[in-house]
């Protein structure tokens, strides 16, 4: 029998902890932390993520600002918004929700965000600091996964961790953070991707398997070792006519069958997703505190 890692409850606990800290800040006369989000276009997934981020701000006592623009925005116009946010003293941190429309260079936008306000941790300065082990804003999804491992007291030292997917948002930073000499960390990490040969041989060797691929049900029970820890980062909308809204979220892991082999496993929804938002709240509080005299 596996233990279901409850990201929803853990994230709620983290939000309650943040709220206590924010209440104290306010009591001591400090400014209320303020997160802004820039959302371009009308992608349903992005809208619901950003909506969740804004709701979490209200819950922990932050101020929040949502800037919504349609897909016709030019790169220059978006760079102007980024510049205004960089110079707005009211805003402690902000995010530009990805993906952006094809005609806008994500790299250009991410590089224009002030590293001090980059609560997503995607700016090359923060990425570089993360690689060098210097204090910085850590990317929210990897940070959230490490927090789940910590709070469930899952042993990581000396374990073989296999990560599927090498994105800049999840797989690449996670592989670095898990190989670091700390807890959670000290793993031997194998970072796999679309060109990896004999993937199944590798996944069967994993003590900890982290899947961030975006392919529903990709990992089946014959691909995992008995008692492995399974972390599913996938959140793909798949058609589901039995639901009124016509879709449901699907992870990258065949949960129903894999759970019988795993020691710990995250569900989708209610696993990694809520932790990403909780980590963003932690980073925003850090950004606000960093500005205190
Ligand atoms: N798109 C998917 N995940 C993320 C995230 O963590 N931050 C931003 N800005 N966009 C995303």
Cβ(6)–Cβ(144) below 8 Å: no
State pLDDT tens for residues 29-70.
Answer: 999 999 999 999 999 999 999 999 999 999 999 999 999 999
- Give residue 27 CA to ligand 1 midpoint distance, Å: 32
Residues 42 and 290: their CA atoms lie apart, in Å, by: 33
Active site residues: 53, 97, 120
CATH number among 3.40.50.11540, 3.40.50.720, 3.40.1280.10, 3.30.390.50, domain 140-273: 3.40.50.720
Kindly give, in sequence order, each residue whose CB lies less than 8 Å from that of residue 213, ignoring residues fewer than 6 positions away.
164, 165, 234, 252
pLDDT value of residue 1: 82
Cβ(249)–Cβ(289) below 8 Å: no
Tell me which residue has its CA closest to atom 11 in ligand 1.
98
Cβ(106)–Cβ(100) below 8 Å: yes
pLDDT value of residue 293: 53
Cβ(207)–Cβ(190) below 8 Å: no
State pLDDT tens for residues 108-136.
Answer: 999 999 999 999 999 999 999 999 999 99
Tell me which residue has its CA closest to atom 9 in ligand 1.
97
pLDDT range class, residue 290, cuts 50, 70, 90: confident
- Give residue 97 CA to ligand 1 midpoint distance, Å: 5
- Give residue 53 CA to ligand 1 midpoint distance, Å: 11
Task: Give the H or E element holding residue 189.
Answer: strand 188-192
Residues 140 and 119: their CA atoms lie apart, in Å, by: 8
State pLDDT tens for residues 10-29.
Answer: 999 999 999 999 999 999 99
For the chain, domain boundaries = 28-114, 140-273
Residues in contact with ligand 1 (CB, 6 Å cut-off): 95-98, 120, 140-141, 169, 276
Residues 211 and 233: their CA atoms lie apart, in Å, by: 6
pLDDT value of residue 103: 98
Q: What is the mean pLDDT of the chain?
A: 97
Is pTM beyond 0.75? Reply is yes
State pLDDT tens for residues 175-211.
Answer: 999 999 999 999 999 999 999 999 999 999 999 999 9
Task: Give the H or E element holding residue 237.
Answer: strand 236-239
Domains 28-114 and 140-273 share a fold: yes
Provide the CATH topology of domain 28-114.
Rossmann fold (3.40.50)
Count Cβ neighbours within 10 Å for each residue of 170-195 and write b for 16 or more, e otherwise. Answer: bbbbbbbbbebeeebbbbebbbbeee
Pocket test for ligand 1, best of 35, 97, 143 (most atoms within 8 A of CB): 97
State pLDDT tens for residues 137-185.
Answer: 999 999 999 999 999 999 999 999 999 999 999 999 999 999 999 999 9
Residues 9 and 30: their CA atoms lie apart, in Å, by: 29
């Amino acid at each position: 029998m596996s233990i279901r890692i409850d990201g929803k409850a853990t994230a709620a606990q983290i939000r309650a902890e943040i709220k206590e800290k924010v209440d104290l800040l306010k009591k001591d006369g400090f400014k209320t932390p303020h997160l802004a989000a820039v959302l371009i276009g009308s992608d349903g997934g992005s809208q619901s993520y950003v909506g969740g981020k804004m709701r979490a701000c209200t819950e922990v006592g932050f101020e929040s600002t949502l800037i919504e623009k349609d897909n016709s925005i030019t790169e220059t116009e978006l760079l102007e918004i980024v510049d205004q946010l960089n110079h707005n003293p009211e805003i402690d941190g902000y995010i530009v929700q990805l993906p952006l429309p094809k005609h806008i260079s994500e790299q250009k936008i991410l590089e224009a965000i002030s590293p001090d306000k980059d609560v997503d941790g995607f700016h090359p300065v923060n990425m570089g600091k993360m690689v060098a082990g210097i204090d910085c804003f850590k990317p929210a999804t990897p940070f959230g996964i490490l927090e789940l491992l910590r709070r469930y007291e899952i042993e990581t030292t000396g374990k073989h961790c296999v990560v599927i997917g090498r994105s800049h948002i999840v797989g690449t930073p996670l592989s670095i953070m898990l190989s670091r000499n700390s807890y959670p960390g000290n793993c031997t990490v194998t970072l796999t991707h679309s060109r990896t040969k004999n993937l199944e041989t590798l996944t069967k060797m994993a003590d900890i398997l982290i899947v961030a691929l975006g392919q529903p049900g990709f990992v089946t029970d014959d691909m995992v070792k008995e008692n492995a820890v399974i972390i599913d980062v996938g959140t793909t909308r798949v058609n589901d006519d039995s639901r009124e809204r016509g879709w449901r979220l699907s992870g990258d892991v065949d949960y129903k069958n894999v759970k019988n082999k795993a020691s710990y496993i995250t569900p989708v929804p209610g696993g990694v997703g809520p932790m990403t938002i909780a980590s963003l709240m932690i980073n925003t509080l850090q950004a606000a505190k960093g500005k205190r005299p």
